[in-house]
Amino acid sequence: MIFSPTSLQALQAAQFDTVIDARAPAEFAQDHLPGAINLPVLDDAERVRVGTIYKQDSPFMARKLGAALVSRNIAAHLQGPLSDKPGGWQPLVYCWRGGQRSGAFAMILRQIGWRVAVLEGGYKRYRHLVQELLYESPFPSRIVLLDGGTGSAKTEILKRVSALGGQVIDLEALARHRGSLFGAVEEQPAQKLFESCLAEAILALDPTRPVLIEAESNRIGALRLPPAIWHAMQGATRVRITAPIAARAAYSLDAYHDLTDAPARLQSIIDALRPFHAAELIDRWQKLAATGQFRDLAEALIVQHYDPRYLRMRSGKTEVQQIALPDLSEASQTYAALRLIELLSEGPLKSCTPERVLPD
């Protein structure tokens, strides 16, 4: 059976027990269908070997070698990851273009008796559908941006809103980055994989409800926000979290403890700020880092680096709402999340300053 979805929604709605990516591991790592498992019919080295023979020696010899390798690898999958699949198991198989690799895998699975579908056009077809959603289609929900200066606990508040039932997309979690020069958490995904994860998050939205997204620039680390979401964010309502500098510095120290535990890395990142600040200021920050004065360093970076940049980036943006917090304790974060839930459900938003941290 050939499966020919016309949209990501149709692909998502399809009922397959397992989605199998038959491409090489390096191709799979760059991007793949959400939830797919990688059962390569040729591994990375084998794919290069067969391709080299095809181009430099003989297409016939390449196909013969490829058939032997594919057969051996499929046999290993049948005796390994697929050994416990029942007779009614229905997988979807795809490769790069939906051609020889997925076709060979599907043919053997069908001979066993399984009802196998092959994705027409393979990964390239899926990638086209992702680009159609993210580059050509309007964003489906009304966006509300959660704004605020560095260290105002926006990411944690966003998580609390989600836990309370609010509709949220956490861009920094998808990008595996905290959104600043100091924000690298781990190796970021490839741009295509980031877009696949973002497309999956968008498809999960209820278009009748607003979605809360943290205000970002059009880049998160090395990754770019695609046009559909970036254009929608540009015109979105903003809710700004405010808190005292000391509270923001304390929160930053906790959030970025991995940097205070690695002084050499911290000093290297500070040094990367030299194009933006006078040498004397950089040297002062380096001294604070070297002597372990991390609270003073955090306050200095907020006041002298991040807040001025924040003001420049937000110049011309209309601030519609504000939630002023006395501190960034868990109670205050919960208060902010509850207020955001109320604001999102009430429609038109109003500026709010809490008289106390927790509501009745």
Active-site positions read 95
The pair of structure tokens assigned to 118 is 């092959």
Half-sphere exposure of 5 (CA within 13 A, CB side): 24
Q: Pick the closest to residue 85 from 108, 109, 104 (CA basis).
A: 109
19 in helix, strand or coil? strand
| Token code pair at residue 298 | 């955090």
Give the integer Cα–Cα distance in Å for 231 and 250. 34
Which DSSP symbol is given to 276? Answer: G
Q: Write 45-51 long-range contacts (CB < 8 A, 24+).
A: 46/73
Checking phi first, is residue 159 left (phi over 0); if not, alpha (psi -120 to 50) or beta? alpha
All residues at 6 or more sequence positions from 199 whose CB lies less than 8 Å from its CB, including other chains: 8, 130, 133, 134
